[in-house]
Amino acid sequence: MSKSVSICVIGSGYVGLVAAVCFAEMGHRVICVDNDDAKVKTLREGGVPIFEEHLPQLLAKHRDRGVEFTANLASAVERSEAIFIAVGTPQGETGAADMSYVEAVVSEIARHVNSYKVIVEKSTVPVYTNEWVSRVLHRHGVDPTSFDVVSNPEFLREGTAVLDFMHPDRIVIGSNTDRSAAVLRRIYEPLTSGSYYDQPGALAGTCSAVRPARILFTSAQSAEIIKHASNAFLALKISFINAVANLAEAVDADIEDIAKGMGMDSRIGPRFLRAGLGYGGSCFPKDVAAFQWVAQQKGVNFKLLQEISSINEAQRDIFFNKVLSALWTLRGKRLAALGLAFKGETDDVRDSPAIEVIKRLLDAGVIIKAYDPAAMERAKEVLQPSIKMQYAADVYEAATDADAVLILTDWSEFAEIDLVQLKQVVRFPIVIDGRNLYKPQKMQDHGFTYVSVGRPSNYHAQQGKPRGMVS
């Protein structure tokens, strides 16, 4: 096993915190820097600010051993050989990524380069960011021989980010010098050689000592495009299957059967062929827009990216209209909203389709009682407090006396609801499922009106009970 590398990770969000802890798990010495003193204090005390499987255990294992947390960027840079930038690149008004946080960090790094440093783009950035990082360092008088800039894009899925990091489909290193490539090779050697997977207590996953992680070396520009192109293509698969779902629904076909038939083709594969409310989160919407902006700036006609976004946005309108169609009128209706995160197994509500649907329903005069296994506190930060917006302790409390139940996030917990108990507590047995978690026949057998995505709706004959009465 190669010698450990001293690593600085700047930023303790989803990418930075996972990277810092996973690098420590790989045997490196890591300093994680954040300018939020409160967050640094929380992390030093063992708190975990995000909901992510395996992260609390690894943080407890390596805190104050393999990884330390600080707000002192200067000291962290001076003590590190590799500096990973994992700060936010939010979408600007034009669709371009806002690179001001990256520039500010690079300017600060420039003041403390005391030996050769490899500066690594871990944030999702547009092509040629590596050149701009180099220019900023040059403008601050940093000797060009004392640094290299590398692109090492992350391919993490929220909810499975730790396993994605330790058992990656691929590790992409965009380096324009052999010297910097050698440093990154050393950093990832525990995964690419397979030595990590033989260690006692190693996280189990798809990689192993005999099937280690694969690594790809490219130019920095190619690596930057790989990240944006990968996310845009996955977003394309989601939007494509949603467009097909709308056609399937119009002709009484079943999108679940269609997706299964498509996914059996090895050239297509089944992943991301799930019809529903569309994609959300911190990556796909921002990255598709940023990729489109880059293409426009270079004079490349890439209209397909606009269509991806348009179809995705339309899915929320389509679902809202499903609710309206099932209930006739909305004002004063009581609805149970199951799910607030943009997808299951995370507490992230950024650009969540669930939140957007709920906002539209509230504007229409609906009373919402919501439940999410992890995201309710974060949702309270983005949904205006109101007597019409309530929160429940579990699925059945949310559904009590509801005129309909909406499934908005694909939590595994929601796929295992006790339908007998659910029918007992609702006012009307109506389920409008934006994630296709149930088989229509099963819902019909339990006496539910069931409306889903890309499948024929089942309007079951219902007998309601007067408002306020719960059986």
Q: Mean pLDDT for the chain?
A: 94
The pLDDT, as a whole number, for residue 470 is 39
6-218 folds as Rossmann fold (3.40.50)
pLDDT score at 98: 86
Tell me the pLDDT band of 238, cut-offs 50, 70 and 90: very high
Considering only CA atoms, which of 36, 37, 38, 34 is closest in space to residue 10? 34
Token digits of residue 198: 């033989």
List, for residues 306-330, the tens digit of each pLDDT value: 999 999 999 999 999 999 999 999 9
Sheet architecture: strand order including 367-371: 389-391, 367-371, 334-338, 404-407, 430-433, 449-451
Enter the pTM of the model: 0.91
Q: Token pair of 418, please?
A: 């006790």
- Bridge partners, residue 386, by sequence: 389
Fold of 315-451: Rossmann fold (3.40.50)
**Dihedral of CA 359/362/366/367: which sign?**
positive
pLDDT of residue 125: 86
pLDDT at 461: 54
Task: Pinpoint the residues of the chain covered by CATH 3.40.50.720.
Answer: 6-218, 315-451
Candidates 440, 449, 446; CA nearest to 254 is: 440
The Cα 419–Cα 411 span in angstroms is: 16
Q: What percent of the chain has pLDDT over 70?
A: 97
Q: Residue 425 — very low, low, confident or very high, per pLDDT cuts 50/70/90?
A: very high
Residue 420 main-chain phi, psi, to 5 deg? -65, -45
Q: Residues with Cβ < 8 Å from 192, sequence gap 6 or more? A: 171, 185, 212, 213, 214, 215
Q: What's the pLDDT at 134?
A: 95
What are the distances in angstroms from CA 47 to CA 56, 57, 67, 159?
8, 11, 14, 18
- Tens of pLDDT along 115-136? 999 999 998 888 888 999 999 9
How far lies 361's CA from each of 111, 270, 398, 451, in Å? 51, 32, 16, 17
Q: What is the pLDDT of residues 149-182, one digit of tens each?
A: 999 999 999 999 999 999 999 999 999 999 999 9
CATH 1.10.1040.10 domain locations along the chain: 232-311
User: Is the four-CA dihedral 248, 251, 257, 260 of positive or negative sign?
Assistant: negative
The token pair at 437 is 């978690």
Is 32 catalytic? The answer is no
Domain at 232-311: CATH code: 1.10.1040.10
The predicted-structure confidence for 82-94, as pLDDT tens digits, reads as follows: 999 999 888 877 7
Model confidence pLDDT, tens digit, residues 48-99 = 999 999 999 999 999 989 999 999 999 999 999 999 999 988 887 778 888 8
- pLDDT at residue 466 is higher than 50: no
Q: Tell me the pLDDT tens digit for each residue of 253-279.
A: 999 999 999 999 999 999 999 999 999
The per-residue pLDDT for range 355-378, each reduced to its tens digit, is 999 999 999 999 999 999 999 999
